[in-house]
Amino acid sequence: MAGPPHARVAQPRAMTTPLPRRLDALAVGERVFLRHPVPADRDELLSLRAANRSHLEKWEPKASPGFDAFGLDWVNAFLATRRGTRGERSLVCRIHDGAILGQISFNTILRGPLQQCFLGWWIGAAHEGGGNMTEAVRLACHHAFTTLGLHRVEANIVPTNARSRALAERAGLKYEGYSPRYLEIAGVWTDHERWALTLEDWIAQRSTGRTHR
Ligand SMILES: CC(C)(COP(=O)(O)OP(=O)(O)OC[C@H]1O[C@@H](n2cnc3c(N)ncnc32)[C@H](O)[C@@H]1OP(=O)(O)O)[C@@H](O)C(=O)NCCC(=O)NCCS
């Protein structure tokens, strides 16, 4: 038997994310939001990085000697470069509790006639495979094309990184071409695919409902 009328009305779910963090969001989706990192994130970031060494290091440049790419050195460098005219960092945070799942960087922002940044992304292995990053990259594109006022975002992806290629495609980026020995990854000059999205294509996708805020 149905309960009293008020029991049948969907109650809003409690938002446990600390309010200031959510208010600082760069963009908010249904399952994740993006925000700039702050020094108070140090411990959580350190745990996430340390737990994901084997998941991430095969896709990243080799660290300089003496630099701990999965410890405090990396976290401090990440925080020190969190916001500037030449680049920005964002954290991918779970909407219902604010937990940090991964990150998206807006690298090498170039102005003048190019108006572009290079996106870099990763998510902790425990959070892979659920669509969080698809939403996060779409939110990152929104931030790039609106707040940052860019005309183009580009992501360079190792051809064997099937998850990253699939992510780029799901998020609306287009395959543009192939660059031999483009970036040093894990100590080796590695071929990359260039994936990109321009403002015009992003607007067209929005009008057909393929992207979201
Ligand atoms: C690349 C990387 C970020 C991709 O993350 P991901 O979890 O695969 O991406 P998503 O969060 O979009 O999840 C996609 C998966 O969720 C599924 N999914 C479920 N619901 C979904 C939804 N609503 N929307 C999109 N996908 C959804 C997809 O079908 C896909 O499933 P699959 O894993 O069986 O293919 C991640 O693998 C990673 O961090 N890798 C290591 C670092 C790295 O490679 N960085 C990039 C270097 S270029």
CB 178 within 8 A of CB 191: yes
Assess whether the C-beta atom of 182 lies below 6 angstroms from ligand 1.
Answer: no
* Ligand 1 atom showing the smallest separation from residue 124 Cα: 39
Q: What's the gap in Å between 142 CA and the centre of ligand 1?
A: 19
Give the Cβ contact number of residue 162 at 10 Å: 10
Per-residue model confidence as pLDDT tens digits over 117-172: 999 999 999 999 999 999 999 999 999 999 999 999 999 999 999 999 999 999 99
Instruction: Give the pLDDT confidence score for residue 208 in this predicted structure.
Output: 86
29 has a pLDDT exceeding 90: yes
CB 147 within 8 A of CB 26: yes
Q: What's the gap in Å between 92 CA and the centre of ligand 1?
A: 13
Kindly report the protein residue whose alpha carbon is nearest to atom 26 of ligand 1: 131
Distance CA 202, CA 74 (A): 32
- Burial grade of 73 (CB within 10 A; 0-12, 13-18, 19 or more): middle
Instruction: Give the pLDDT confidence score for residue 98 in this predicted structure.
Output: 94
Q: What's the gap in Å between 3 CA and the centre of ligand 1?
A: 41
Q: What's the gap in Å between 58 CA and the centre of ligand 1?
A: 17
Instruction: Give the pLDDT confidence score for residue 210 in this predicted structure.
Output: 64
Q: Residue 209 — pLDDT band, cuts 50, 70, 90?
A: confident
- pTM equals 0.91
Per-residue model confidence as pLDDT tens digits over 170-191: 999 999 999 999 999 999 999 9
